[in-house]
Chains A and B, each alone.
Chain A
Amino acid sequence: MFKFLLHRLLATIPVLLVVAVVVFLLLRLTPGDPAAVIAGDIATTEQIEHIRESLGLNRPLVVQFGIWFGNALQGDLGESFFFRKSVAELIAQRLEPTVALALCTIVLAVAVAVPLGVLAAWRHGGWLDRALMGFSTLGFSIPVFVLAYLLIWLVSLELGWLPVQGYRRLAEGFGPFIRHLILPSLTLSVIYIALIARVTRAAVSEALTEDFVRTARAKGLPERRVLIRHALANAAVPIVTVIGIGLALLIGGVVVTESVYAIPGLGRLTVDAVLARDFPTIQGVILLFSVAYVLVNLAIDLAYLALDPRIRY
């Protein structure tokens, strides 16, 4: 057990290192002077000189990486000349909306997708099953922003139930906070629901063919209990895995969703940074999202131990 934990933790290190190298190289692969690229279009010559000095841009690439990586480890992601702030500060300011949106979406997606997947597996080949499979193919195909506009048009403009766009901080009260989050989360959750429901259906279908399910039914357990306690519990590992893998999809969706709904989060920051060619910020956001993705999936791997007592590494 301890050996597994250690092994899994150590395996994360090369992955994070590759991420860091790729993000670092992003800037060096640009044609032209990296100092000028980092400084952006509005920096002065002195500022460019200062950047060259502090990041050691005249020294070998390995040394440059060392400096950059050392800074990043201490939370120093560089300076955004466009926003006139440190990248770390920028990210901290934009973190709340994105985390709120992501959590809200995950909760919504799991709450909808898992029961649907279980029911579809239970009535394999029935109308709900076919409808769900059709819906999930549609969910994979409909672009996030098309869906966003359809929902805005229907829910906000025609029915007038929810605000069209914008964001309210949690500090401004839970009511407005959640009202502004419902539509974006709904938009973002569709593709996630499609993914989780498919995997849940497949995993539960397989579990339902097992002997222990037949035994459970034979001893007269109510079907509900068979489905949840026996089938779903045994299908938990693939479902939780796909929730973790799907996070990559969610992060991509966040960028688009925040743009459509004018939410001032990290996704919106990414787009603004790209449009302003503000590379330190782009690097910082990508690094943050990737590290978050790796760590969440690490946490999920460790959660298997709790979910499935059979797994003893």
Chain B
Amino acid sequence: MDTPLAELAAEAAVPAPRAATWRRLLRNWSVRIGGALLVLLTLVSVLAPWLGTVDPTLIDPVNRDLLPGARAEVATLTGESFEHRFWMGSDSYGRDIYSRVLYGGRVSLVVGIAVALLSLFFGLIVGLTAGFLRRLDAVVMRVMDGLMAIPGILLAIALVALWRPSVPTVILAITVPEIPRVVRLTRALVLSIREEPYVEAAVSVGTTTLRLLYRHVLPNTVAPLIVQGTYICAFAILVEAILSFLGVGLSTDVPTWGNIMAEGRLQFTQYPHNVLFAGVFLALTVLAVNVLGDGLRDTLDPRFSKRGDRP
């Protein structure tokens, strides 16, 4: 196997040195800002129990509709009572909005990350299949075209309604409409990578198809797929909030940003703080993910990840 061709193939298969890529990423301001904001938001929601929150589902009629910053006595279900500062006020059930917003972040982040990983996983498998087994290609892509013709949010709403909402069903319902987009991207990548000289070189020295996939094609799809994954994550966070907000998502006793806003909308004209705090956190999180995605795209420079293809 010591032919020059084999060497060429092996060389091309080695991904760019990791340390250099990391340094380039960390020098990009979009990556810095988006990443930092995202880390902060993640920490805040993971560490919610230690950040002066109370039980986000604790209903206390005495303390309802408090304005942001108000101090009041909170009585827990076990009969204890202590003074608590309602940094973001309380809702019409007397629940602490600050606690609800912090805990609500957990659902959004879990859904966003899970949808991104799942749709990348399934999209990658189908996309690689379509790109490699040319006989299946036409059929698979027609099915994907059909799926993409159904507006994603509508399909997600219908699927959640069918399966009855829970965290896994919401994740799956948002994932299904995203898969075809990943399939398209992966297939386009595979088709262009197949034309590269190093693949030709690898084939000519008798590399098996599986090894070709694993060593040559897969590593070169990673960067564009990571970028695509961040956009999917941002979109999934939005869709989850939309589902909750419309009342078709997770049950109203789970604190999610969409649920908080759906309940707050009834009193929006009197107490806008209910809707606004959850809305700001939601917008900030999606913005952080999107900015991070833009930074990754600019740094890793995949030719295929374009915003225009991502409704």
Instruction: Give every chain B residue within 8 A of A22 (Cβ-Cβ).
Output: 146-147, 150, 155
Contact of A138 among B146, B150, B238, B287 (CB under 8 A): B287
- B159: chain A residues at CB < 8 Å are 26
**Does A205 interact with chain B (Cβ within 8 Å)?**
no
CB of A30 closer than 8 Å to a CB of B: yes
B94-102, B113-121, B186-194, B239-247 - the one binding chain A: B239-247
The answer to whether B242 and A286 touch across the interface, beta carbons within 8 angstroms, is no
* Cβ–Cβ contact B308 & A270, under 8 A: no
Main secondary structure of the interface of B (DSSP, over half): helix
Q: Are B149 and A290 in contact (CB under 8 A)?
A: yes
In the complex, the answer to whether B308 meets A285 with C-beta atoms within 8 Å is no
| Partner of A286 from B158, B291, B311 at Cβ < 8 Å | B158
A215 contacts the other chain (CB 8 A): no
Interface size of B by CB at 8 A reads: 47
| Interface membership of chain B positions 152-177, coded 1 if the CB is closer than 8 angstroms to chain A and 0 otherwise | 11110111111000000000000000
Q: In the bound complex, do residue B154 and residue A286 qualify as a contact, i.e. CB atoms below 8 Å apart?
A: yes
Q: How far is the CB of B98 from chain A (nearest CB, A)?
A: 18
> B154 contacts A285, CB within 8 Å?
yes
CA distance A252 to B158 in the complex (A): 12
In the assembled complex, the Cα of A26 lies from the Cα of B309 at a distance in Å of 26
Q: Which residues of A contact B36 (CB under 8 A)?
A: none
- Interface status of B301 (Cβ within 8 A of chain A): no
B308/A242 in contact, CB under 8 A: yes
Report the Cα distance A248→B308, complex, angstroms: 12
Is A248's CB under 8 angstroms from B152's CB?
yes
* A18 in contact with B248 (CB, 8 Å): no
Task: Count contacts between A and B, CB distance < 8 Å.
Answer: 154
Binds B, one of A1-9, A102-110, A177-185, A274-282: A274-282
Q: Is A212 an interface residue (CB 8 A)?
A: no
B268 within 8 A of A: yes
Q: Which DSSP category, helix, strand, loop or mixed, fits chain A's interface?
A: helix
Q: Which of A30, A242, A251 contacts B162, CB < 8 Å?
A: A30
Binding site for A on B (CB under 8 A): 142-143, 145-155, 157-162, 234, 238, 241-242, 245-248, 261, 265, 268-269, 272, 275-276, 279-280, 282-283, 286-287, 290-291, 294, 307-309, 311
**Which residues of A pack against B, CB within 8 Å?**
14-19, 21-23, 26, 29-30, 137-138, 140-146, 149-150, 152-153, 157, 195, 198-199, 202, 238, 241-242, 245-249, 251-252, 255-256, 259-260, 270-271, 274-275, 277, 279, 282, 285-286, 289-290, 293-294
A-B contact pairs, 21 of them (CB 8 A): A16-B149, A22-B155, A23-B150, A140-B290, A142-B283, A149-B261, A150-B279, A199-B308, A238-B308, A245-B311, A246-B311, A248-B148, A249-B311, A252-B242, A255-B157, A259-B245, A274-B157, A274-B160, A279-B161, A282-B157, A289-B154
